[in-house]
Structure 1
């Protein structure tokens, strides 16, 4: 183990030794939304494959497969299939946004719909997405568009996916085409969703496509994704020249970076070091690369990757944070050198993820040092009854307001998710939606959960106007 990352990990954790603890009574009594700044984006997030229905890509193929031991790739053996049919029910979903009082919506475009074969652009799909962006703009809802959210066209996956440098060229061309298509209505762009999660799950843990377990490949893919972001940002700035919202800027570009608190299981040197190394790789490698223009990835004994990326430094106008949970970490002999768990008695969501809203505050404070606006691009909880989500939403908005009160430049909060959807390897079991989707009905009826009123309260306090 190198001395540099070990010392860095210990320093990071030492700096987090004083951890906040929110008083539930204060959270419940807070006039949530009052502490958010003018112009704040209060919205919801979705991903194309998870809601649209009818997509044909590497994930739709993966869903039908199984691991060597016979276990299905998708835990409940479901396939995305029609998903929530948002491809055909977008206007209905806009009505839900208006009911919330949301003034922003983050959605993804599906590469496989727009370019099903190399160089073949689907005009009908393009027009549908153009109408979506225009509808949102005309309804006073700021669109934020994600270019890549985990799915690849079959032709990209079959040619090596993100391991093949030629596919970075293809994504760069795709990004420019989307900028031309949507730029008249879109200023906020999210190039990539959670490149660290995709690289780890697809190439180290092997639980997402392409199902590899190769730490060196994982690092190469993460580096290529970071380069893909830089290339996409260059294309967005070149081809989106319309200032849709009139603020003087035609593009505001970032990516959605997944962050997790890694709490050492004890004060032992090994637990501190492993938690610090995990934090450094998972939470810090992407922001560091964006700040410096240099990718530096280190995994003891297997990976030491260094790469300068043209146009990476200065490529973002904001950093998006996807935050859900805290992991407690102890040293073990797995490829990641760590065992992650939740101590008995800690509050969790229905997926077993610890509920720790204070972690969002910690990350907002940490990344304020970048000197860039921050946007919470995802945050939510799997709550299959819907009864616990109101406090979760309230406590995480409270965390945002505490950070704002201390001078952190937070520009927006996007709740995951507007509606229940296909949750990747977990299938349709988890329910993250502010609106529950009844999958037993042909109509896929959307029904409000109790957290809808919490969101509406925040919107009203922010000066927005939810519809009845």
Structure 2
């Protein structure tokens, strides 16, 4: 393999999440928005980008950029809007869509839990209660029926540490709790729910690879000379990046967040309960100790003069290879990059961003990391949680009024590399997508599937 060649069988693809793209979902996040708790209280997901009605068209968009895999999530609130009552039509729709995706030559990558919950969940069986594991097991059993025979890559939970910190420490996302003890109970139950889901998936759906997607950050002490900044950086690296991965490889959940929360729990069945390590990588955080809870501040700094991304994050591709190599050395398992992307509202920085991160990924591969695939976040612009409609992560730009999807300059570059398996610099790919083999830029007619 040449230095610019991707491994044989390497998969390029794209990622989405149900609530952010499907539209017309009533769940805990839609309740959160009605309470005005997004950064802009006027933002509502609503119809989102209507992916529910444009699914086949969007699968074709993914195919046009060379995707061999497409990550979607199943929406628990669609499947079980009332506790114990399954919507059979929604279950059938998800299965039929995944069958069509596979028939189109694209491997399904399916997330069971991507932040959202049915509206009954936090009120009746919240994560800090043992009943949550029972409920998630039942939901996973339904998902396993959807996935039967599809040879899908299955992600049980997306970014559990983000859910923990945002929902149970800071209280800025659902369920809006700020309680360290409940946070530790919740995280333990989420780990047990992964184990329960794995059991149901293997029993019902046959062959599939099962893991999680863990948001991982590069960390740096804000003041190199300050011992407490350095200590915070070590703690953050271990707790944030590795605590959940470790719970599902050696079976013990260990977290130490002085002044906030700590735990040490055995996770029955957790040892070696993932087939791959999923990593979502975006940026680096600079940590500074402050003498009051939560005892740290973090910020993004433009150390290399590349300019912060439009959401305000550091563009730090070097951290990508370091984390991939560390995952390889710590766990020795196959790795999937389940998210990586840039908020680029003018659409001009994305090709170079891809080149830089793909270069770092290949560097990690040369150092032994078994990276099997890369999924770009996201196929198209969508509703970005608390940030609402501001960020633009899509390979395809979306007009949020007309819902028209338009290729950004990154589309042709992504396709060139994905189809050839050879990394070239963006300047070497100047030819736009040809009209006869690109998707129309006019929004398709809405067809209820």
Aligned match of 2:374? 413
Offset at 1:458?
Answer: 1.1
Counterpart secondary structure, 1:218: helix
Counterpart secondary structure, 1:161: coil
Q: 1:267 to 1:315 in 2, by over 3 A?
A: same
Q: 1:334 to 1:324 in 2, by over 3 A?
A: farther
Offset at 1:220?
Answer: 1.9
Q: 1:101 to 1:302 in 2, by over 3 A?
A: closer
Counterpart contact for 2:71–2:111, Cα < 8 Å: yes
Instruction: Select the residue among 416, 419, 424 that pairs with 1:460.
Output: 419
Within 5 Å, which residues of 2 pair with 1:383-402?
A: 383-402=344-363
Within 5 Å, which residues of 2 pair with 1:123-162?
A: 123-162=88-127
Offset at 1:208?
Answer: 0.5
Task: Write the deviation string for residues 312-352 of structure 1: whole angstroms up to 9, x where unpaired.
Answer: 11110001000000011111135342111123564211111
Counterpart contact for 1:64–1:73, Cα < 8 Å: no
Query: If the length of structure 1 is used for normalisation, what is the TM-score?
Result: 0.87
Counterpart contact for 2:219–2:285, Cα < 8 Å: yes
Counterpart contact for 1:133–1:186, Cα < 8 Å: no
Counterpart contact for 1:357–1:399, Cα < 8 Å: yes
Matched, 1:57 2:27: yes
Q: 1:423 to 1:137 in 2, by over 3 A?
A: same
Counterpart contact for 1:74–1:427, Cα < 8 Å: yes
Counterpart contact for 2:129–2:185, Cα < 8 Å: no
Counterpart contact for 2:21–2:383, Cα < 8 Å: yes
Within 5 Å, which residues of 2 pair with 1:106-121?
A: 106-121=71-86
Task: Write the deviation string for residues 265-288 of structure 1: whole angstroms up to 9, x where unpaired.
Answer: 213211110111111111121122
Counterpart contact for 1:117–1:155, Cα < 8 Å: yes
Q: What do you get for the CA RMSD once the two structures are aligned?
A: 1.9
Within 5 Å, which residues of 2 pair with 1:12-411?
A: 34-66=4-36, 72-75=37-40, 77-241=42-206, 250-265=207-222, 266-343=224-301, 346=305, 347-369=307-329, 370-411=331-372
In structure 1, the gaps of 5 or more residues are 1-30, 67-71, 242-249
Aligned match of 1:247? none
Counterpart secondary structure, 1:134: helix
Counterpart secondary structure, 1:305: strand
Aligned partners of 1:85, 1:291: CA distance in 2, in Å? 38
Offset at 1:293?
Answer: 0.4
Counterpart contact for 1:52–1:84, Cα < 8 Å: yes
Higher normalized contact order (CA 8 Å, seq sep 6+, divided by chain length): 1
Aligned match of 2:394? 433
Offset at 1:140?
Answer: 0.8
Task: Write the deviation string for residues 329-386 of structure 1: whole angstroms up to 9, x where unpaired.
Answer: 1111353421111235642111110000111101000000211000000000111111
Query: If the length of structure 2 is used for normalisation, what is the TM-score?
Result: 0.90
Task: Write the deviation string for residues 128-186 of structure 1: whole angstroms up to 9, x where unpaired.
Answer: 11111111111110101000000000111221421221121111111111112222224
Offset at 1:49?
Answer: 0.4
